[in-house]
Structure 1
Amino acid sequence: MRLRSLRLRLLLAAACAIALALTAAGLGIVFLFERHVERRIGAELDTYLNQLAARITFSEENTPRLTGKPADPRFEKVYSGLYWQVHDEGSQAALRSRSLWDATLKLPQDRPALGTIHIHDIPGGPRGTQLLVHERRLAYATPAGEKILRLAAAIDRQEITALSAAFGKDVLASLLVLGLALLLAAWLQVNVGLRPLAMIRRGLAEMREGRSERLDVDVPAELAPLVGELNALLESQAKAMQRARDRAADLAHGFKTPLTALLADARRLREKGEDGIAAEIEHTADLMRAQIERELTRSRIRNAAAAPVDVAAVATAIINTLRRTPHAESLVFETHVEDGLAARIERDDLHEVLGNLLENAARHARRKVLLRAARQGALVRIDIEDDGPGIPAAQRDALIDRGKRLDASGAGSGLGLAIANDVLDHYGQTLTLEHSECGGLKASFTLPA
């Protein structure tokens, strides 16, 4: 299974690298410690050989003997793990430490050069132990002639192994603590290293919410090309959308003259008494004009960052305009807008939404239109209600989706609610239609604060 988390990948890679490095370091440290201990013990064994060599004398029978013994008390303890032995190559006589008891050091059968120290690992020591042996052949002048003696000092390998094992446990504990510290450092490093990506993500979220137009270019050099490409793509997209809006505006102007001519034909037909045909032509032209307005509204919606817009100011301007229309001049408009309330939306877009909803409410209201706006957490909630006949619940969703008119006799195309929903959809919001306590329809929506 592929890991899709970059942070987890980096942490796993760091953990593996740390584990391998600490394992290699631990093995290397233990190996070096064992070699150091072995050299240190070897130096002690060489000292014992020198002590033995200095204290050897010969009896009247020309047999070797010691005038004194090495001072280490372990030589006097049976099977203590530290041993010495002096072997006469001629007479095969041997002197040995008390620690050997009834055993002997079984030295190799070779004949090393005189005076040099040879190091052996021999099995079969006392109680079957493995021994590290330092051996030296020396020639002594005696009245009976030259004597060749083999001096050997040995120590049980188990002592070196025990020291290494104890040291290894100490090293393991230290490396575990070090490994945890390195993992913590790696976690901090990964989080610091990925922070610029989090900044880019927040920048994209701000662009989606309309709070900025481009990504901040103040990023590490490794991410600068990515940010530059994203900004270039956004610039190209903005230019393409501007061209699309311009083409849509040109298209609307192109349709204006044919629609005007079509309505003129309808008036002439009505003057000739063809009221039925004239009504059909006017209805068709009305639908065409409304559909064009809806598509133009969609094309005008911008992706640019939106500054906070005063909700009360926009609502007041729209209501003042509606009061001059025939169907709204007798209505009462009640507004309850929280002081200083602002929504993060393009002013033209807010005007489009409130204009369509207030006009729709005024067209169906009997006496009153109510507008409420207040902050709701990080959002602004706006409710527009009327005391008209309302809309059955089963027909509300279809009205938003298709802009269907429920009263074919009234003026306008009935696409106002659908246009408002299209604009809100761009900001990630949805228009909600409910029954109003005033008796008619309640249209509600939210916007970023």
Structure 2
Amino acid sequence: MSRRSLKVRLLTIQAAAMVLALGLTGLGLLTLFERHVERRVGAELDQYITRIAAGLSFDKSGMPGIGAEMLDPRFGRIYGGLYWQMINETAGKTARSRSLWDRVLELPADKPAFNEVHAHDSPGPGPSGLLVHERRLKFGKGPDQQVVRLAVATDRAELAKLTRAFAWDVGIALTLLGAILLMAAWAVVGLGLKPLAAISSAIGAVRSGRAARIETELPVEVQPLVGEVNSLLEMQEKEIAAARSRANNLAHGFKTPLTALQSDIRRLRDKGQEALADDIETVAKAMRRQIERELASSRARFARHMAPAPTGELAAGIAATLQRVPACAGKIFRFEIDAEHRSFADKDDLAEILGNLMENAVMHGGDVITVRACDEGDFSRIEVEDNGSGISRDLRRAVIQRGVRLDEGVPGSGIGLAIVHDVLAAYDSELELETAASGGLKAGFRLKRQTD
């Protein structure tokens, strides 16, 4: 998937945001857990202080002591993880739990207020240090009063172990949550971008001629874009139609004087001025070729922007028009065209091609005219066939020439097939004349199909 993909960008941003959010959530949970565990352990240490204070006794020298059976067994194991220490400030005696072995709890030099719990860190037997809670207590009254600084500590390695276990569980949970959120984000982004795919498909339909406008139902957020595209299509159609009209008007404006010039050339030949007639005819032909080339160029250039024409509909309309002509009496039209078939040519151009071919079949062919259309790979093939006498092979090239007529007894100008030839040339195609299976003439041509 391309880095320029909007979907990739959105998913990347969402993934980065989720990683950041889940990471901060994990850190926050760990911080809260550590605080909770530390408060919980601190409460247990305070309970130990209370229990030790309740069972505290002194010997004659003022050495404090306590029954070992009153406390957690870890106090009796060397470096067992729980430690107590009592300092009799009055007698200057210090007692420690067996778990401290040869170590001493390092307490701050300050003197806490009586019965007030102080919490602080202290170096311990292990590398993790100790969490220490201490209280300063008074025992007895009068001259026998003893002031004892009582401290209980636990190894922070135990806290770290609990935190790591919690971090592992939270990490797994957040990873699963992140995967679920990422899949949800993938689905949401896909649904969010679905209208763009619909627009792309609709534009493809417009480009291929299956539709003239974008008419797909889309969310209101993208309707302004659809409206702008439709407005652009409408403006383009108007500009193309105006340009085609100007090109046709210019070409036909020159053709009329050239037709008159052809009459002058014939009169000059009738008067015996052959040389002058030849010179003028050469210039006239050059001008006509240039005009036809420009007209064909405009057809080809503008036709690429036109919607494909409905072949069957056009053919049926032309047949309906021809059947009103007296010469068409008794003629039968047959159509072998799929209702959905489209020819990739301008509608007016296709009408001119089919009109001339079908009129030629009516005027010079038999009583059955067949129009068929089908797709052949990247091309559409259209044929107009009659069951008349046909045209011999050696005359087929000549009949396409402008003004050439094989049957002078039938009304006509002799330019119909020449017009068809010129129009098809604008589409890089050519008219193919063949003998039909019925013996009549089959005129066919191919048009390049556009693809999405």
The interval holding the TM-score normalised by the smaller chain is: 0.7 to 0.9
- How far is the alpha carbon of 1:270 from its aligned partner? 2.5
CA distance in 2, matches of 1:268, 1:85: 138
Secondary structure at the aligned position of 1:107 is classed as: coil
* Counterparts of residues 405-444 of structure 1 (less than 5 Å): 416-417=420-421, 419-423=423-427, 431=429, 443-444=445-446
User: Counterpart amino acid of 2:205?
Assistant: E
Percent sequence identity is 41
Q: Secondary structure at the match of 1:227?
A: helix
1:309-348 correspondence runs (5 A):
309-310=311-312, 313=316, 337=336, 340=339, 342-343=341-342, 347-348=347-348
Structure 1 stretch displaced more, 294-303 or 215-224 = 294-303
Call closer, same or farther: CA 1:38–1:296 in 2, change over 3 Å. Answer: closer
- SS of the residue 1:126 aligns to: coil
Q: Higher mean Cα deviation, 35-44 or 126-135?
A: 126-135
Alignment of 1:211-226 (within 5 A): 211-216=210-215, 218-226=217-225
Q: Matches of 2:121 and 2:193 in 1, distance apart?
A: 56
Q: CA deviation at 1:81?
A: 0.5
Distance in 2 (CA, whole Å) between partners of 1:434 and 1:70 is 115
Paired position in structure 2 for 1:14: 14
Cα 1:370–1:33 change in 2 (3 A) is same
Amino acid at match of 2:349: D
Counterparts of 1:360 and 1:259, CA distance in 2: 25
Report the CA distance between 1:210 and its aligned residue. 1.8
Q: How many residues align?
A: 421
> C-alpha separation between the residues in 2 aligned to 1:294 and 1:347?
15
Aligned AA (1:15):
A
Amino acid at match of 2:423: I
Look up the SS of the partner of 2:140 in the other structure.
Answer: strand
Q: Does 1:152 align with 2:151?
A: yes
Task: Please show how residues 202-351 of structure 1 align to structure 2 within 5 Å.
Answer: 202-216=201-215, 218-275=217-274, 277-278=276-277, 281=281, 284=285, 287=289, 290-291=292-293, 294=296, 297-298=299-300, 301=303, 303=305, 305-306=307-308, 308-310=310-312, 313=316, 337=336, 340=339, 342-343=341-342, 347-351=347-351
Give me the whole-angstrom Cα distance separating, in 1, the residues matched to 2:435 and 2:54.
119
Aligned to 1:88: 88
Shift of 1:320: 9.5
The separation in 2 between residues aligned to 1:30 and 1:300, in whole angstroms, is 69
Structure 2 unaligned blocks of 5 or more: 328-332, 362-368, 405-413, 437-441
Quote how far apart the aligned CAs of 1:442 are.
7.7
**Which has the higher mean CA deviation after the structures are superposed, 17-26 or 261-270?**
261-270
Deviations 1:378-426 (A, max 9, x none): 9754468999769xxxxxxxxxxxxxx9989967696755632534xxx
Q: How far, CA to CA, are the matches of 1:197 and 1:305 in structure 2?
A: 22
Equivalence for 1:117 = 117
Structure 1 unaligned residues grouped into runs of 5+: 325-333, 362-368, 391-404, 424-429
Q: Match for residue 35 of structure 2?
A: 35
Cα 1:421–1:116 shift into 2, 3 Å: farther
Separation of aligned partners in 2, 1:58 and 1:84: 16
Task: Deviation per CA, 1:182-230: give whole Å up to 9, x if none.
Answer: 1112211221221222222122111111222233485444433333333
Q: What is residue 185 of structure 2 aligned with on the other side?
A: 186
Partner residue in 2 for 1:393: none
Partner SS, residue 426 of structure 2: helix
- What are the equivalent positions in structure 2 for 1:131-146 lying under 5 Å apart? 131-142=130-141, 144-146=143-145
- How far the C-alpha of 1:34 sits from its partner, in A, is 0.9
Identify if the C-alpha distance between structure 1 residues 235 and 304 changes in structure 2 by more than 3 Å, giving closer, same or farther.
Answer: same
Distance 2:69 2:55 in 1: 8
- Distance in 2 (CA, whole Å) between partners of 1:387 and 1:41 is 110
RMSD of the TM alignment (CA)?
Answer: 4.7
Q: CA deviation at 1:61?
A: 4.4
Counterpart of 1:101 in structure 2: which amino acid? W
Aligned residue identity for 1:86: M
Deviation at 1:302, TM superposition (A): 8.4
Distance in 2 between the 1:407 and 1:247 partners?
26
In 2, Cα distance between the equivalents of 1:213 and 1:360?
Answer: 32
Cα distance in 2, alignment partners of residues 67 and 409 from structure 1: 133
Structure 1 Cα separation of the partners of residues 72 and 50 of structure 2: 14
Question: Residues of 2 paired with 1:19 and 1:212: CA distance?
Answer: 45
Give the Cα–Cα distance (whole angstroms) in 2 for the partners of residues 342 and 129 of structure 1: 83
Distance in 2 between residues matched to 1:372 and 1:218, nearest whole Å = 36
Distance in 1, Cα, partners of 2:161 & 2:447: 78
- 8 Å Cα contact 1:84-1:153 kept in structure 2: yes
Q: TM-score if structure 2 supplies the norm length?
A: 0.75
What SS is found at the alignment partner of 2:113? coil
Q: Distance in 2 between matches of 1:17 and 1:203?
A: 34
Q: Distance in 2 between matches of 1:380 and 1:251?
A: 31
Tell me the SS of whatever aligns to 2:311: strand
What corresponds to 2:24 in structure 1? 24
Deviations 1:260-319 (A, max 9, x none): 321221221132134565466286175466447536745874845456331764797899
1:78–1:101 Cα contact (<8 Å) kept: yes
